[in-house]
Amino acid sequence: MADPQWRLFLPKEWASDTGRRTVTRVPPEVTHREKWRLALDMLDTLAGWGMRPPVVVADAAYGTNAHLRAGLAERGIDYVLAVRADVTAHPFEEQPVAPARNGPVGCWPQPRYRHPAPSVAALAAGLAQDAFTTAAWRNGSRGELRSRFAAVRIRPAGKAVERPIRTAASAEQGWWDGVLPDCWLLVEWPEGAEAPTDYWLSNLPADMAIVDLVRLAKVRWRIEHDYRELKHGLGLDHFEGRSWPGWHHLVTLVTAAHAFLTEQRLAPKAPSPASPSTRSSMHSRTP
């Protein structure tokens, strides 16, 4: 089930429009905040409640953002995030090299990668065919869903990745060895396709089995299913009000209804020797 928290994204033009804010009763402390920051805010709220997601999954609109990935890593949260094909990364085995020093004076040059980082699409295209294996992740309406996948260790690159690492290393030890952290690159290349179709980055352990990476990458179908039910079945996208409190009232009621329906779906339909009651196995927080 999708995270039951909600944050209403306030565009910059709304955040600076006093008239709109007054009419719609937007609280003064609420300002424009990027969507990836709102996502981290929700995780921080969960942490304050003593709750922690086992793994965070998200589409490429979030996964491509290096700031979000860094924020999750800083919080010790594992993730499997879809990314765009143009995200850049160095091969795992590539190492930074320090340029030669010019003259006897001046600072020693810091190590850096000697070649521009290729895109994950280019890295995937360079994989041998035997690097891909067929894996299934769930049963669909037409049988088992399966495709070909490869998982390799890479080092995501880019200024947004490098800058905070360099700053932290320089502050702690006065220099940086230039080595970028490694993570998983999961690639899907369906049978018969001319090129790979999907890419994910994950900071899960290096000994993680590829079938588990695939299962987690593909679990987003459940989230999309929940959103579809929230929007079309329970009226989440039918809101026609024009106020901050009204929107929050709607999403609260819709979320409560969705939680009830989810428990009903998971509960046995009738008593049986193996299931003496129709009580859901999920503990409900509702009174």
b/e sequence 202-240, b meaning 16+ C-beta within 10 Å = bbbeeebeeebbbebbbebeeeeebeebbeeebebeeee
pLDDT value of position 121? 97
Contacts of residue 135, Cβ cutoff 8 Å, sequence gap at least 6: 146, 147, 148, 149, 210, 211, 214
> What's the length of the chain?
287
Which contiguous run of DSSP H or E holds residue 40?
Answer: helix 35-48
Question: Cβ neighbours of residue 138 under 8 Å, at least 6 residues apart?
Answer: 144, 145, 215, 218, 221
- Label residue 262 exposed, middle or buried (CB < 10 Å: 0-12, 13-18, 19+): middle
Do 129 and 115 meet the contact criterion of CB atoms below 8 Å apart? Answer: no
Specify the 3-state DSSP secondary structure of 181.
coil
pTM for this model (two decimals): 0.84
> pLDDT at position 285, please?
38
Of 53, 48, 49, give the one whose Cα is nearest residue 3: 53
Residue in 140, 151, 220 with CA at minimum distance from that of residue 185: 151
How far is the CA of 247 from the CAs of 14, 229, 269, 287, in angstroms?
A: 16, 18, 34, 23
* DSSP characters over 218-256: HTHHHHHHHHHIIIIIT-GGG-----HHHHHHHHHHHHH
d(CA 120, CA 113): 17
pLDDT in the model for residue 91: 96
In three-state form (DSSP H/G/I as H, E/B as E, the rest C), the secondary structure along 108-130 is CCCCECCCCCCEHHHHHHCCCHH
Residues 127/187, Cβ–Cβ less than 8 Å: yes
pLDDT reported for residue 278? 35
pLDDT at 101: 66
Q: What is the pLDDT of residue 275?
A: 40
Residue recorded with tokens 């409190």: 245
Query: Which of 111, 275, 122, 94 is closest to 177 using CA atoms?
Result: 111
| Rounded distance between C-alpha atoms, residue 251 and residue 233, angstroms | 13
The conformation of residue 131, written as its DSSP 8-state character, comes to G
Q: Can you give the pLDDT at residue 167? A: 87
How far is Cα 171 from Cα 181, in angstroms, rounded to an integer? 18
- Tens-of-pLDDT digits for all 287 residues of the chain? 344 578 889 999 988 999 999 999 999 999 999 999 999 999 999 999 999 999 999 999 999 999 999 999 999 999 999 999 999 999 999 988 877 766 666 566 778 888 999 999 999 999 999 999 999 998 877 889 999 999 999 999 999 999 888 888 888 887 788 899 999 999 999 999 999 999 999 999 999 999 999 999 999 888 888 888 888 889 888 877 789 999 899 999 999 999 998 888 888 665 555 444 333 333 433 33
The pLDDT, as a whole number, for residue 132 is: 97
Question: Contact, 134 vs 144, CB < 8 A?
Answer: no
Element (H, E) at 165: helix 159-173
Three-class DSSP category at 283? coil
